[in-house]
Chain A
Amino acid sequence: MTATPTVRAAARRSGRPPLKPTARQPRRRSAVLTVVTGVMLVYAILPLAWLFISATKTQEDLLGTFGLWFGGEFALFDNIADTFTYQDGIFGRWVLNTVIYVVVGAGGATLLAALAGYGLAKFDFRGRRAVFAVVLGGIAVPPTALAVPTFLLFAKMGLTDTPWAVIIPSLVSPFGLYLMWTYSTEAVPNEILESARCDGAGEFRIFFKLALPLLAPGLVTVLLFNLVAAWNNFFMPLIMLKNADLYPLTLGLYSWNRQANTVGGDVVFDLVITGSLLTIIPLTVAFLMLQRYWQSGLAAGSVKQ
């Protein structure tokens, strides 16, 4: 859905002649498209609206009033305060953990993907095709299938129930690598590299000073992908972590939600919902801010330059 307009925008930016002369004229409205887009909008907005409205309710209103309208009492600020103070303020700790996992995990994964992708794209060496096959294979294997072997591996190394158990697996992003590889092939002209080498620049200098700026849009795309993956990472922490002090937000909220399934457990749906709302805010902000890069990055693979 999102790719279509993006490609067009990118195509226009790159100065290619439009495929059809009509594209330059003011767009004609298509009733069908408007309706489809409208439905998509509602589809995307409704859960968010529900989440926001629900976060303003007390637990009793949450269960007792209509889901898509406000309850009797506007309790958003009380809920936020409760979320941060419940269980000795462990929510704040989860926020901090998540930030660390995301910064180190997603940041590291992006850097590694850029280095490896660039290397594979710009250096010719034996076994390149084998690496290509392995990377493609890596994309094909769902992370869930690798979870238990990874757990056993980490257990042998004594790393389970430590932050490393979450960070190290998230440093590897075959899809990001693949994307950077394709992007490097297209965005970094070999001529620049050759002239830089003639001028005596070292390979790392070439990468950081010349290639990286050219790779920026692709880098942001990969960063966003990794950011989302690391922020939403759930299964790996679930099997790796037992200590609640190390939980990321996803797992923490899950554990709060599971209290309702527990004999004698404290039912805190209101805090789960408020916590969820707080959890998606940083991601939403990141998306809105990096949207421009995201779009051009997405288009990168689809347009021949």
Chain B
Amino acid sequence: MSITRRRALLGAALSITLMATGCSGSDDGDDGAATPTTVTEADIAAALEAGGNLTVWAWDTTITKVAADFQTKYPKVKINLTNAGTGNDQYTALQNAITAGTGIPDVAQIEYYALPQFALAKSVADLNTYGAASLDGTFTPGTWNAVHAGDKIYGFPIDSGPMALFYNKEVFDKHGIAVPTTWEEYAAAADKLHKADPKAYITSDSGDAGFTTSLIWQAGGKPYTVSGTEVGVDFADPGSTKFATQWQKLIDAKLLSPVVGWTDEWYKGLGDGTIATLVTGAWMPSNLEKGAAAANGKWRVAPMPQWEAGGKATAENGGSSLAIPEKSANKTLAYAFLKYAAVDEGAQTRIDDGAFPATTKHLAAPEFKNKEFPYFGGQKVNEVLAESAGQVVTGWSYLPFQVYANSIYGDTVGKAYLGQGTLTDGLKSWQDASVKYGQEQGFTVK
């Protein structure tokens, strides 16, 4: 299959996936101005000296200060920072802009799960051109792997979400529940808590694609295999089965709160103790502080429950990168900003504002690890989270059409949460629908 055809296919695939309605895209595979094959550090310095305008699309609030600092340091650069929506909203907008060929930003925030989709369509630039390979070892292996497709690098990690168990200690103490170290113990704790207080649940989960894939990831499952345009989807592997069996018990016993994540009800539950734990990414602390202020001092962080007693395996949940759209008019300058925000001064600025770093240097820094969080009763939360970052199971990959796959999760796996069939059935139909879609888009799907 020729590159051009593949690109056209994927371009069309993306248009349909991401837009509200299908329509024929005008993506004719024309990449605009040719980029030099290599850009040296001197070229980058020259671009900074020359200055110019950069449009940055990011929803992450910690970017605001980074952009301001960058402009102070390089006065000839003017950054136009735009919040084009969080996650999917922004991908739709980005894809629309790419299809239309105008209004494309110079830098865009893209989550790890969505990056392969833009990378395979060549919508984002390969940063090797700018010497990104020299940053090998700068980022944690998990995040560095997440921005790679083959030996090409499509973005710089700006945060990471190694998972941990966030729990409401007050609720646990009140009912004499021990902090679970395995998923078996977690289920037992769920049962004990709900029996002691029928209004309280161990956690809320009404079906979340990111959570499901993260737990399968932790269990050692590798349902997605990707090699170029050859894609495999298999939710019958041991890791997926482990998750489906264990989590089904919680669903069957009605031990999960049906409250939908990130709603006002959810924040309420996190604040008043009716949602007692969250197993989620390391970026959670600042959200708890801001959204569940009522529980100030009550929450703690513990290592993620394990599939094997005594195990030390974790997974990533969420986290995003900054990428440069291929059609950006000022890619060299954009790269300079990327490096500043992800590696240089900007990384520390963002950590100070509550972001969880993806850089090994910052993760190991004593002032980072020893920081005491008043919201967590003075606990040194980052110690637990940084430890988790080092234990992420390797070898995970997302589908090159994961944005679409996640969008149909609710229609397939989500049904199991409503008592229609089991998680295993749901995963099977998710697999079938993903395979079908992949084939339609021109992938070789097994």
Binding site for B on A (CB under 8 A): 59-60, 62-64, 144-145, 147-149, 151-152, 155-156, 158, 160-161, 235, 238-239, 242-244, 255, 258-267, 269
- Tell me if B23 and A264 are in contact (CB < 8 A): no
Residues of chain A lying within 8 A (CB to CB) of residue B21: 144-145, 147-148
- Tell me if B101 and A258 are in contact (CB < 8 A): no
- Tell me if A267 and B290 are in contact (CB < 8 A): yes
Q: Residue B229 at the A interface, CB < 8 A?
A: no
- Tell me if B103 and A264 are in contact (CB < 8 A): no
Q: A155-B101, A160-B102, A258-B85 are in contact. Are A266 and B290 (CB under 8 A)?
A: yes
Min CB distance B65 to A, Å, is 12
Residues of chain A lying within 8 A (CB to CB) of residue B353: 264
Q: Which of B200-208, B243-251, B267-275, B306-314 contacts A (4 or more CB under 8 A)?
A: B267-275
Min CB distance B287 to A, Å, is 6
Min CB distance B19 to A, Å, is 5
Closest residue on chain B to residue A61 by CB atoms: B294
- Tell me if A60 and B294 are in contact (CB < 8 A): yes
Q: A60-B294, A63-B268, A267-B291 are in contact. Are A161 and B103 (CB under 8 A)?
A: yes
- Tell me if B268 and A64 are in contact (CB < 8 A): yes
Mostly, the A contact residues are helix
- Tell me if A263 and B287 are in contact (CB < 8 A): yes
Q: A64-B294, A269-B264 are in contact. Are A264 and B100 (CB under 8 A)?
A: no
Other than the given A144-B21, A148-B96, 14 more pairs (CB < 8 A) read A59-B293, A64-B294, A147-B21, A152-B99, A152-B100, A155-B101, A155-B103, A158-B102, A242-B84, A258-B85, A258-B86, A258-B89, A263-B286, A269-B267
- Tell me if A148 and B287 are in contact (CB < 8 A): no
- Tell me if A264 and B291 are in contact (CB < 8 A): no
- Tell me if A160 and B100 are in contact (CB < 8 A): yes
- Tell me if A264 and B60 are in contact (CB < 8 A): yes
Closest residue on chain A to residue B99 by CB atoms: A152
Closest residue on chain B to residue A264 by CB atoms: B286
- Tell me if B294 and A144 are in contact (CB < 8 A): no
- Tell me if A63 and B294 are in contact (CB < 8 A): yes
Q: B82 contacts which of A155, A160, A242, A264 (Cβ < 8 Å)? A: A242
The CA of A152 and the CA of B87, in the complex, are separated in Å by 21
Residues of chain B lying within 8 A (CB to CB) of residue A265: 59, 61, 86, 287, 290
Q: Residue B258 at the A interface, CB < 8 A?
A: no
The CA of A113 and the CA of B320, in the complex, are separated in Å by 48
- Tell me if B283 and A148 are in contact (CB < 8 A): no
The CA of A262 and the CA of B61, in the complex, are separated in Å by 8
- Tell me if A239 and B93 are in contact (CB < 8 A): yes
28 interchain pairs, CB-CB under 8 A: A63-B272, A64-B272, A64-B294, A148-B96, A151-B96, A151-B100, A152-B99, A155-B96, A156-B100, A160-B103, A239-B20, A244-B82, A258-B85, A260-B262, A260-B263, A260-B264, A260-B291, A262-B59, A263-B287, A263-B318, A264-B60, A264-B283, A265-B61, A265-B290, A266-B61, A267-B287, A269-B264, A269-B267
Q: Residue B62 at the A interface, CB < 8 A?
A: yes
Min CB distance A296 to B, Å, is 37
- Tell me if B271 and A63 are in contact (CB < 8 A): yes
Min CB distance B68 to A, Å, is 14
Closest residue on chain B to residue A235 by CB atoms: B20
Closest residue on chain B to residue A243 by CB atoms: B82
Q: How does the 8 Å CB contact mask read for B367-411 relative to A, with 1 for contact and 0 for none?
A: 000000000000000000000000000000000000000000000
Q: How does the 8 Å CB contact mask read for B105-148 relative to A, with 1 for contact and 0 for none?
A: 00000000000000000000000000000000000000000000
Residues of chain B lying within 8 A (CB to CB) of residue A261: 86-87, 262
The CA of A68 and the CA of B309, in the complex, are separated in Å by 47
